[in-house]
Amino acid sequence: MTDNATMTISELANAIIKLASEKNVMLVLAESCTGGMIAAALTNIAGSSAVLDRGLVTYSNQAKQDLLGVRDDILAGYGAVSAETAIAMTNGALLKTPAARLAASVTGIAGPSGGSYDKPVGLVHFSCQWRGKPAVHEHQTFTGDRDTVRKKALHKTLIMIYSELK
């Protein structure tokens, strides 16, 4: 198979569903800036219902708190777009989804506004976490317009999930 960074969204989604099915891994997603794009990419694939338990769109801070249990002190101290929040999102997704073994989260600033010197437009934090193990975190600053940033964040999240399943 090709290098996973060059795989298309459809190829990654297919590979994730295949690997998760083979390994009997149930997934849970916690999305902010992608607004459900990851869940949509996976559910475009036949057989996804066997491996995707749920996808939570937690766009607001309140949703992150209510649905994922992200603590107020994390959001106040680090902000919604941070390693700490991304990791809290995967941890919360696993806590709220007993059937899931692997969680992925994404939170970022898609733009065109909302950025700052420390957190520019295009900054996205990602986390994947296996139940019972520490979370893996990455971040990237993407260039492009809102749509481009969101598509790049979708692609990067799928790469992370695929890499964890491999």
114 confidence band (pLDDT: 50, 70, 90) = confident
Give the model confidence (pLDDT) of 6-19 as tens digits. Answer: 899 999 999 999 99
* pLDDT tens, residue by residue, 122-146: 999 999 999 999 999 999 999 999 9
| Strand spans (E) along 13-121 | 27-31, 52-57, 102-108
pLDDT of residue 5: 82
In three-state secondary structure terms, 54 is strand
pTM of the model: 0.95
At 11, which CATH number?
A: 3.90.950.20
Q: How many domains does the chain have?
A: 1
**In the predicted structure, residue 115 carries a pLDDT above the cut 90:** no
What whole-number distance in Å separates Cα of residue 140 and Cα of residue 68?
23
Determine the average pLDDT of the residues in 68-84. 97
Give pLDDT tens digits for 12-48.
Answer: 999 999 999 999 999 999 999 999 999 999 999 999 9
Q: Which residues contact 37 (CB under 8 A, 6 or more apart)?
A: 31, 150, 151, 153, 154
The rounded distance, in Å, linking the Cα atoms of 129 and 103 is: 5
Residue 152: domain span? 4-165
Q: How confident is the model at residue 1 (pLDDT cuts 50, 70, 90)?
A: very low
pLDDT of 2 strictly over 70? no
Indicate the average pLDDT of the chain: 96
